[in-house]
Structure 1
Amino acid sequence: MKLLHDVPAPAKLNLFLHITGQRPDGYHLLQSVFMLIDWCDTLHFEKRPGGGISREDLTVQLPADDLITRAAKLLQQHTGCTQGVHIAVEKQIPAQAGMGGGSSDAASCLLALNRLWDLKLKRTALEKLGLQLGADVPFFLRGHNAWVEGIGEQITPIALSAARFWVLKPPSGVETAQIFTHPALQRATKPATISVFAAAPYDFGHNDLQPVAQTICPDVSLALQVLGNAGMNGKMTGSGSAVFAHCTSGTAPIQVPDRWQGRQCSNLEVHPLQGWASSDS
C-alpha cells in the first residue's frame, strides 16, 4: 500500500462540560459527553522512502509543527520506522473552536500511518502515544461517543440517538489556558450520573467554561444570540468559541453572518475509522 486518500477526521461537540474540582497539581476534574459529528477535516497520505515527513496545506495554512506532523514524527520515533510520508491536509474544522479539530487530525494520522507503514500497533499503544499529543486524542482513537471524567482519561462509551445540530463559529477564538486560569471559573459543579444524563441527553447540563469565555470573547455571546433568535437554546462546546444547538423539525433557518463558519451537522454513531487499529481483546 502506497496511498491512503480521503481519510476523515471528524469534529466533536461537548454536550455539556462540568468542572467538578481541581487536583493539587492544578489539573481540573471534569465531566462531559463527547459526541462525534460529521464536520470533518480530510487527510491524504502518500508513503515515501527515506524517512522524511512533509505536509501540504490545501485549504488553511497550519503551523509548521502542528499536531499532524508531530503525530507522524512521534509514531516514527516510537517504532523506529524508516519509511516517510507526504500528508496533504484539507482543513475544514475551525481552529480555537472547542471542536477538537487538531486532536482529531492527530488521531486520524496515527491510525492512517499505522496502516500505511504496516506497523500493526494495537489501539491501546496508539492511545498512549496520542495522550502525549493532547488529552482529547485518545477519545478520537477509541471511536465512540463517550462519557468522559477525571482529567479526560476516564472514557466510557455511550449510545446517543441520531440528531442534528446547528454549529456556529465566530471569527474570534478563545485560548483554553486563559479560561482555566481565570479566577471567575466555576470549579465545584456537583457530579452527575450517566442515567440522569441519558433521560434528556440533548437538554442536559451546561458548560462551566462558557461564562468566562463570554467575558473574554464577546463573539460567544453574539453566536448564542444568533441561535436564540432562531428559537434554539445554544451552548458553547469545549473551551469555545464555537456554539451549537439541537435542531428539531420546527427549527427556523439561520443566516450565518459574514466571516463566520456555520453549518447543520449530524452526529455520528461511531468514528469513520473505527476498526483501523485492533483492540487488545
Structure 2
Amino acid sequence: MATTLSLPAPAKLNLFLFITGRRPDGYHELQTLFQFLDFGDELHFSPRADGQICLESKLEGVAAEDNLIVRAARLLQEKTGCPLGADISVDKRLPMGGGLGGGSSDAATALVGLNHLWGTGVSLEQLAQWGLALGADVPIFVRGRAAYAEGVGEIFTDAAPPESWYLVVRPPVSVNTGLVFQSPDLKRDSPKRLITAIEPTEWANDCEAAVFKHYPVIEKVFSWLLEYAPARMTGTGCCVFARFDSQVAATATQALLPPHWQGFVAKGVNRSPLHERLAVCA
C-alpha cells in the first residue's frame, strides 16, 4: 500500500466582497474574488486497509466526528463505496475564524488528496459538488483556480488577478460570522455589476463597517496597515491584509508589527498549491 501523501491546504483571500441583496431565505447575494496564498496548513495521509478514518491531530473544542477533515473523508467513502481508510495528521498554521478559509481548505485537501490516494477517480467537478455539503467555500478550494464568485458563492468564473505579495495580520479576536450577517450595520445594497468588469480601484469589502463596529481591534489593525499599503479585510474577518509589490516590502512592514499582533507574508497565486503539488505526485 502507498506511503504517506503530504499535501498543502492553502489560505484564500477575498480580494473584494460586495453584498448585493438578501434573499427571502435569509442568505445573502454576493460578488467576490477569491485568490489563493502560498501559505497554509499541511495535511498528511497514510492509507489504511480497515476503512477507519483516524485523525491524529485534534482541534481544541472540536470533536473528531465534527472535524471537516473527518467529514470529508467519510463523505468520499460514502459516495464511492471505497473500503479503504486513512490515518490523517495536520500541521495547523491557519487560524480558526480568520476569514482565510482554513477549515474549508482542509476539507477540500482531504477530498482531493484521498481521491488520489485511494484511486477513486472522481472528477474535480464532482468533488466540488459534494464538497458544497461541507461548506460554501469548499468548492473553490477543490477547483483550485482563482475565481470570481456570485449568487450565494456557488457560481464561479475563472479569474487571473495580479499575483501580488501580501502581509496578512490576525487580530487577537475571533469573529462571529452569524453576528456580522445579522447586523443592521451590514451594507447589503451594493449594485450588482458585471463581475469581471469591477476594476481594482473599486475593490472593497462590504463587511468591514459592521465588523469594525463589533470588533474595534480589527479596525485598529486595519488602520495601522493602511499606513503602509492598500489594506482590506478578508471575508468576514478577522484577518486583514495589505498588498505589496515585492516580498521585500511586505517583509519589511511585517518587521514593524507590534509584538502582540501575529502576521505572515505570502504570495497570491492563481493556481492552488494543492494542485501544483498533486501535479508533481501524479
TM-score w.r.t. structure 1 length?
A: 0.90
Report what 1:63 is aligned to: 62
Q: How do residues 96-107 of structure 1 correspond to structure 2 at under 5 angstroms?
A: 96-107=97-108
> What is the alpha-carbon distance in structure 1 between the residues aligned to residue 259 and residue 79 of structure 2?
44
Map Cα deviations across residues 252-278 of structure 1 (whole Å, 9 max, x no partner).
Answer: 62323334321111011201233859x
Report what 1:13 is aligned to: 13
Q: How do residues 241-256 of structure 1 correspond to structure 2 at under 5 angstroms?
A: 241-248=238-245, 253-254=253-254, 255-256=256-257
Identical-pair percentage: 42
Map Cα deviations across residues 20-56 of structure 1 (whole Å, 9 max, x no partner).
Answer: 0111111100000001111210000011121111112
More displaced stretch, 183-192 vs 104-113: 183-192
The answer to whether residue 157 in structure 2 is matched with residue 156 in structure 1 is yes
What letter matches 2:77 in structure 1? Q
CA change 1:241–1:120 in 2 (3 A) is: same
Mapped contact 1:3–1:116 kept (Cα < 8 A): no
Shift of 1:2: 2.3
> What is the alpha-carbon distance in structure 1 between the residues aligned to residue 62 and residue 4 of structure 2?
23
Mapped contact 1:219–1:241 kept (Cα < 8 A): no
What letter matches 2:34 in structure 1? F
> What is the alpha-carbon distance in structure 2 between the residues aligned to residue 259 and residue 74 of structure 1?
40
More displaced stretch, 64-73 vs 97-106: 64-73
Map Cα deviations across residues 153-202 of structure 1 (whole Å, 9 max, x no partner).
Answer: 101011122211111001111011110111221111012334433x43xx
Report what 1:126 is aligned to: 127
Equivalent position to 1:224, from 222, 226, 236:
222
Shift of 1:139: 0.5
SS at match of 1:112: helix
Report what 1:27 is aligned to: 27
More displaced stretch, 48-57 vs 33-42: 48-57
Mapped contact 2:10–2:274 kept (Cα < 8 A): no
Mapped contact 2:47–2:87 kept (Cα < 8 A): yes
Mapped contact 2:5–2:117 kept (Cα < 8 A): no
SS at match of 2:202: coil
Report what 1:215 is aligned to: 213
The answer to whether residue 186 in structure 2 is matched with residue 185 in structure 1 is yes
> What is the alpha-carbon distance in structure 2 between the residues aligned to residue 196 and residue 119 of structure 1?
39
The answer to whether residue 232 in structure 2 is matched with residue 239 in structure 1 is no
Mapped contact 2:148–2:196 kept (Cα < 8 A): no
The answer to whether residue 145 in structure 2 is matched with residue 147 in structure 1 is no
Map Cα deviations across residues 227-257 of structure 1 (whole Å, 9 max, x no partner).
Answer: 123x223211001000011113566623233
Equivalent pairs, count = 272
Mapped contact 1:146–1:157 kept (Cα < 8 A): yes
Shift of 1:62: 6.6
CA change 1:88–1:259 in 2 (3 A) is: farther
In structure 2, the gaps of 5 or more residues are: none
What letter matches 2:213 in structure 1? T
> What is the alpha-carbon distance in structure 1 between the residues aligned to residue 229 and residue 123 of structure 2?
42
Q: How do residues 78-89 of structure 1 correspond to structure 2 at under 5 angstroms?
A: 78-89=79-90
**RMSD over aligned Cα, in angstroms?**
2.0
> What is the alpha-carbon distance in structure 2 between the residues aligned to residue 90 and residue 36 of structure 1?
18
More displaced stretch, 112-121 vs 188-197: 188-197
Q: Which has the higher helix share?
A: 2
> What is the alpha-carbon distance in structure 2 between the residues aligned to residue 140 and residue 214 of structure 1?
28
What letter matches 1:211 in structure 2? A
The answer to whether residue 204 in structure 2 is matched with residue 173 in structure 1 is no
